[in-house]
Structure 1
Amino acid sequence: MPDAAGALPVDTAPPATRMQRLQGRVILGVKADEHGVTRLDRLYQSGSARLRLPKGPDLEGVLINTGGGLTGGDVLETEVLVAAGARATVTTQAAEKVYRASAGEARVLNRLSVAGRLDWLPQETILFDGARLCRRLEVDMADGATLLAAEAMVFGRTARGERVTHGLFRDEWRIRRGGRLVYADAVRLAGDIDAQLARAAVAGGACATASCLYVAPDAEARVEAVRAVLPRTDGVKAGASAWNGLLALRLVARDGQALLRALAPMIEHLRGLPVPRVWRC
């Protein structure tokens, strides 16, 4: 309304600040040359997402988030294409940290196309109190292809005794082989995540979890050997099952360090190689 002098009031409130959000995308394609050696075929990177290929006997891609972590509204996308006869490992430079979100969710989408062999082995994700993360893994495999995929989650900075008493974690896996859906898994924890993890049917009080999936022609034949080397230490519980050309592992642990100490030997057993070099740095 005009004031007594007839002038319209001036809005002195500061304009709403639009927070900058992280967006990044990586596309990696590999193929086998005429000698059967895996070579880089395609590499695209944008935004805060980068990929490096350290020198070594095998092709190993290391994903880097130059943003230093994720929060609400951030988006990371990764696409990996492995041609027939090729073998690749994709991991991350460090643990991914998901910070408290003021609005929205951090979104991570990983798409994998595998005609050869792919070991998808990112380092653990750490969910801070108040964080919100929606993550999806989509895999299209050829008949006869091999996939080893592992994802580890740590809820709270366990070394500081932090607990996630409010937040969101949604994780979806969809695996198709020869165009047919062969594996579908979904996890949703919302609100007081710490209280939900305390339930016996969820994690029994553990605050670190991992899922590992091995999809290969020999998957079912390896289940007894895998069960024989399951961790039997205090603070870690693990189980393995196999069906329809898949072998699935679940682990829960009292903290992130205990989880990784138990997970690494399982990965090495299934891939026949040490864990990626960045895991040992």
Structure 2
Amino acid sequence: MNTQEVDDNKQSDESLAWQPDIDLGNHWFAKLHLHLTHRSQGTSLSHIERVGPLSVQKAFYPEGPDCAHLYLLHPPAGIVSGDELDIQIHMGEQSQALITTPGANRFYRARTDSSIGKSQQIQRVSCYLHAKSVLEHLPQETIIYNGADALNQVDIHIDSSAVYLGWDVICLGLPAANDPFKHGQLTQLNRVFCDNHLLFHDRIHLSSKSPLLDHSIGLAGSPVFGTFILSAPTIISPEKAETLITQIRELLAHRDLQHAFSITQINGLILARYLGSRSDLCKQIFTQMWQICRPYYCVRAATSPRIWFT
């Protein structure tokens, strides 16, 4: 794939030519495709395809030139009925990046006005990791407002020599504001493919009619759930993975959080879960898990993005 240097504030010719295949009408389509390339001077954001309000600032390098830190920006700060966000991250061979967001993502209450054509709100994130690349995808939480009609999909396509570490934290409703998630629906889909083979397929569909919201085999009435995924099939051997998992279990035991978090291996993936009522706690522990995992696949200690402290 040929790449070209583009100014961070400009769209590529390809993005300007791109058009959705249906009438926009009351729908807002947004597209952001990022291409990162490793060169002698380090990892650079070499190509951007952009349509609509999705954007990034310039790449930051708090860890040095090899690892680019990028902040995904969505100025509307939320997704409404008819919106469709398409985010793609392409990691070139040996490139390394940490990608996060400056604040929470939001799926707002869906509109019921039939004139908009459809009520669903869609966000799709697709990550493509080529040989020996490293991607850390660490977004802030996603809030699903009462009455939303949300599809949130994350697909990871990884070469067996690459490394992916990422998480998602889902908050249902606004319980602190006495506005729980009692109406609407959410479909959350996470998939991981390694060398074009499906390793992980995790789908949950929640609605006001779903017993999963309150049943003990579902969310048991908890408004927050999170998923943490590490895929490093070549870098982390099964023996090292067991050592890493033991360290994380010791962390959870020290914090007395075994009731809220779990961790295991599935098809070579290290997978952790959270179920509870605090998104801040989920993000805090996931961050500590990331700090434990990083020395196993990267020579540097974890450096938290500066945007997390503003």
TM-score bucket of the superposed structures, by smaller chain? 0.7 to 0.9
The Cα of 1:202 is off from its aligned counterpart by: 1.5
Counterpart among 131, 137, 147 of residue 130 in structure 1: 147
Number of aligned positions between the proteins: 262
Structure 1 gaps, min length 5: 1-17
Q: Residues 45 and 59 of structure 2 are in contact (CA less than 8 Å); yes or no, is this contact kept in structure 1?
A: no
Q: Deviations over 1:108-150 (max 9, x none)?
A: 1111100201011111001111011112112211111100010
Structure 2 gaps, min length 5: 1-23, 113-118, 295-300
Aligned Cα RMSD in Å? Answer: 2.2
The Cα of 1:80 is off from its aligned counterpart by: 0.5
Higher strand share: 1
Counterpart among 223, 227, 237 of residue 245 in structure 2: 223
Q: Does 1:210 align with 2:226?
A: yes
More displaced, 211-220 or 252-261?
A: 252-261
Q: Residues 206 and 255 of structure 1 are in contact (CA less than 8 Å); yes or no, is this contact kept in structure 2?
A: no
Q: Does 1:240 align with 2:263?
A: yes
Q: Does 1:98 align with 2:104?
A: no
**Alpha-carbon spacing, 1:236–1:44, altered in 2? closer, same or farther (3 Å):** farther
> Is the partner of 2:181 in helix, strand or coil?
coil
> Is the partner of 2:252 in helix, strand or coil?
coil
Q: Residues 72 and 132 of structure 1 are in contact (CA less than 8 Å); yes or no, is this contact kept in structure 2?
A: yes
Counterpart among 62, 66, 69 of residue 60 in structure 1: 69
**Alpha-carbon spacing, 1:233–1:277, altered in 2? closer, same or farther (3 Å):** farther
**Alpha-carbon spacing, 1:99–1:236, altered in 2? closer, same or farther (3 Å):** farther
Q: Residues 235 and 254 of structure 1 are in contact (CA less than 8 Å); yes or no, is this contact kept in structure 2?
A: no
**Alpha-carbon spacing, 1:114–1:61, altered in 2? closer, same or farther (3 Å):** same
More displaced, 44-53 or 80-89?
A: 44-53
Structure 2 length as normaliser, TM-score? 0.78
Q: How does 1:10-159 map to 2 (within 5 A)?
A: 20-35=26-41, 37-57=42-62, 58-103=67-112, 104-115=119-130, 116-159=133-176
CA distance in structure 1 between the partners assigned to 2:43 and 2:33 by the alignment: 16
The Cα of 1:63 is off from its aligned counterpart by: 0.9
Structure 1 length as normaliser, TM-score? 0.86
Larger radius of gyration: 1
Q: Does 1:163 align with 2:174?
A: no
